[in-house]
A and B are shown apart, each in its own frame.
Chain A
């Protein structure tokens, strides 16, 4: 059964990094540098995202000289939808916080 847990902050960071250019294929070390996450944190996130179907993976097609082909990643349609849902939820939470804070702010002024 698929667990429907809210993604962690680190997972959101990875999703946002991938969503910057959803059509581009990215590789692991590039994502490490972009997100500031260590490999030991990034790869479990990528594995879980791929398991959930949020991440598409493939091997580099043009085999480079002197090194093995790299594994590449990009968000799937499902991943992008989930990211949009997360962004929408975040906005709702921020809105609710602003509403809660407003009477206090008004009372103080």
Chain B
């Protein structure tokens, strides 16, 4: 396909926030596991990190899962076991001792970090699909037989994208106010959302000015 959607400038504009966020999270994760990464394989590292985020009252269950993983052999079996256990370590069943606000699972914090960088790729893939099925106003094509339907789809997708871009603010605030575990995630989500939205506005101005 020969249109603006595959222009390297557009592609890099769309995927930069996602790549940067992924790199920052990976760097934080790598730093957190520095003391055990020589001894453990990838499933072990993943579970170790998840267990570090386990609430204090459930930490012994995290240690139990880690010890059990040492007896699981075979790549696939280890991955399956580690992934299942990581989910339990991050979101253990609530108990009576876990009802203090400080022990809440970081659901909102995770959403606040995950959603903003997904906003731009989301609308990009929507534009690619629209183009593939018959043209979109984004690429100035007139092959679509029902332009009104395209416009409704595009408007919906733009709203969803904007929703993703700014989602870090409400989710970050909610995570912070709920006193979730790993509150730094909520703070990161808030900052990320503001930065990516500003980046989006600046890049759009730059791209539209360049035409």
Contact = CB atoms under 8 A, between A and B. Distances in A.
Contact of B80 (A28, A39, A68): A39
Contact of B70 (A39, A40, A48, A67): A67
Contacts of A42: 84
B36 interface: no
Nearest to A28: B68
Interface residues of B, number: 23
B157 to A, nearest CB: 33
B87 interface: yes
Given A43-B61, A47-B93, A70 B68 contact: yes
Given A38-B84, A40-B85, A47 B67 contact: no
Interface residues of A, number: 21
Nearest to B81: A39
Contacts of B85: 39-40, 43
Contacts of A28: 64-65, 68
Contacts of A48: 93
A71 B81 CA distance: 15
Interface of A: 27-29, 32, 38-44, 46-48, 51, 57, 67-71
17 contacts: A28-B65, A29-B68, A29-B81, A39-B88, A40-B83, A40-B84, A43-B84, A43-B88, A44-B92, A44-B93, A47-B88, A47-B93, A51-B93, A51-B96, A57-B64, A68-B63, A70-B67
